[in-house]
Structure 1
Amino acid sequence: MTARLGHICRHPIKAHGREELASVLLSPGACLPWDRHWAIAHESAKLEPGWSPCHNFSRGAKAPALMAITATFDESSRAVSLAHPDLSPITVRPDVAEEAERLVDWVRPLVPADRARPCRVVTAGRGMTDSAFPSVAILSLSSLSDLSERMGQPMSIHRWRGNLWVDGWAPWAEFGLIGQEIRIGSALLRIEERITRCRATSADPDTGRIDADTLGALERHYGHRDFGVYATVVEGGRIAIGEEVRT
């Protein structure tokens, strides 16, 4: 079976919404354009210049309700429209101070009272991925299907907040590609390392409520908590849904 690109996902505000794209232009050494461009730092954050580790930000591992946010990003206006089943929709430009404050006010009800409160919107000039290097997260639909079958329930792709979903690889074949390069359309990517998962994946992305022991299932069935791989873009180019993924 020929492997093909099944989904392209972007998350303009880290941990706060996702959207699916038909195509995207990748650039060498960069994240997916506008992916995790902004993040919401909490009151206990100790930010470093540029990129900072994920524990400084409001995220699904501590506030599972955040997992149910969907997003639409308008690149021309730099406005993000967000929706959640328990809130009225909102559209903001995170770079505008007053609108960033409205965004923080909007998400506060989604964060448990015993967790650090969302405080301010920040940006780093690069995607604030969970990897210290600018990465693109690549995941396998076959691996997801295998995990879903073992767990006895379907797992949405949006639990995992990946960027590129490949359809047609053998289950878990992506772990054997560490250090190798793959080509999608005209873009070339190098697979760097496995992605170790957190509790955010236990929340249903439709409701934001915990409904699955994903970490326990990974440990029990495979002996680890890894799902997906981080890659770096070696050669840029436009990629689109349905294009062949060549190893």
Structure 2
Amino acid sequence: MVTSVAALWRHPIKGHGFEALDRVQLTEGCTMPWDRRWAVAHDAAQPEADGRAWAPCHNFSRGAKAPQLMAISTTSDEAAGTVTLRHPQRDDLTFDPDQDAAAFLDWVRPLMPEDRAQSARVLRAPDQGMTDSAFASISIINLASGQDLAARLGQDLSPLRWRANIHLNGPAPWAERAWVGRTLRIGTAELELREAIIRCRATAANPATGARDADTLGALQKLGHQEFGLYGVVTRGGMIAVGDTAEII
């Protein structure tokens, strides 16, 4: 079966929503444009989480600690510099993350567990984006692996649980585990597949409801690991689009 791009996604605010794209221009050494452009530091964050450089994910509000965040979807207006957030329990909010942090913090507060660190400030990420990796990465998943995991759990699993940028259709389940060190070519763009993604409890939450309803980590551990998907680094820029053929070289 031919490997192809089934979907493209970005996440303008780390841990706070997913946004579908039809096509996107990739640039060497950069994340997907507007992916993890902002991050939300909580009130127990370390001083390192000041927006001047990349910081580890434990400094930020995210689905591993606040599962309702997983049900946020987004639409961005790059020209206006705004993001619209949607959640089944909240009215829509359109705001400028650089200017309207107070409005956002009021909006998100009811979605945060009371026994967890509370969202405190919105940071503009450095140029690389505030990804979970310490390098400027683009995340890739194989949809067949997700379908295999769903079958093992006996329930549907939305691919959106994995918060990936590129969804691939075509490879056999778990084929991607042999791809580290190889190159993914889509059109003229190329990505070095650098390392596997170690998953956290965020993936237990349903992106339609925000409820934890699947033991994704337990299912992975039964396979002998806690990995799902790969981090890639753009080594050659180019336009990629849904439906494009992808090749592992």
Mark yes or no: TM-score above 0.5.
yes
| Aligned position for 2:46 | 46
| Aligned position for 1:82 | 85
Other structure's SS at 1:83 match: strand
Point out the more displaced range, 41-50 or 211-220. 41-50
Output one character per residue of 1:89-120: Cα deviation in whole Å (capped at 9) or x when no partner.
Answer: 10001011xx1111111111111000001000
Contact 2:39 2:123 in 1 (8 A): yes
Percent of matched pairs sharing the same residue: 52
AA at the equivalent of 1:44: A
TM-score by length of 1: 0.97
Distance 1:155 1:20 in 2: 18
Distance 1:122 1:243 in 2: 34
Point out the more displaced range, 191-200 or 119-128. 119-128
Distance 2:58 2:157 in 1: 25
Distance 2:6 2:81 in 1: 26
Distance 2:83 2:92 in 1: 11
| Superposed displacement of residue 190, structure 1 | 0.5
AA at the equivalent of 1:159: R
Moved over 6 A (4+): none
Contact 2:27 2:238 in 1 (8 A): yes
| Aligned position for 1:177 | 179
Q: Determine whether 1:242 maps to 2:247.
A: no
Map of 1:112-151 to 2, 5 A cutoff? 112-125=113-126, 126-151=128-153
Contact 2:36 2:131 in 1 (8 A): yes
AA at the equivalent of 1:190: E
AA at the equivalent of 1:73: S
Q: Determine whether 1:158 maps to 2:165.
A: no
Q: Could you list the runs of 5+ residues in structure 2 that have no partner in the other structure?
A: none
Map of 1:3-14 to 2, 5 A cutoff? 3-14=3-14
Distance 2:141 2:154 in 1: 20
Q: Could you list the runs of 5+ residues in structure 1 that have no partner in the other structure?
A: none
Other structure's SS at 2:210 match: coil
Query: In angstroms, what is the RMSD of aligned CA positions?
Result: 0.7
Contact 1:47 1:56 in 2 (8 A): no
Output one character per residue of 1:193-219: Cα deviation in whole Å (capped at 9) or x when no partner.
Answer: 000000000001000011011000111
| Aligned position for 1:168 | 170
Point out the more displaced range, 182-191 or 45-54. 45-54
| Aligned position for 2:210 | 208
Distance 1:104 1:4 in 2: 39
Q: Determine whether 1:63 maps to 2:66.
A: yes
Other structure's SS at 1:165 match: strand
Distance 2:10 2:185 in 1: 20
| Superposed displacement of residue 47, structure 1 | 3.9
| Superposed displacement of residue 175, structure 1 | 1.3
Contact 1:40 1:104 in 2 (8 A): no
Distance 1:47 1:73 in 2: 29
Contact 2:53 2:125 in 1 (8 A): yes
Distance 1:17 1:138 in 2: 17
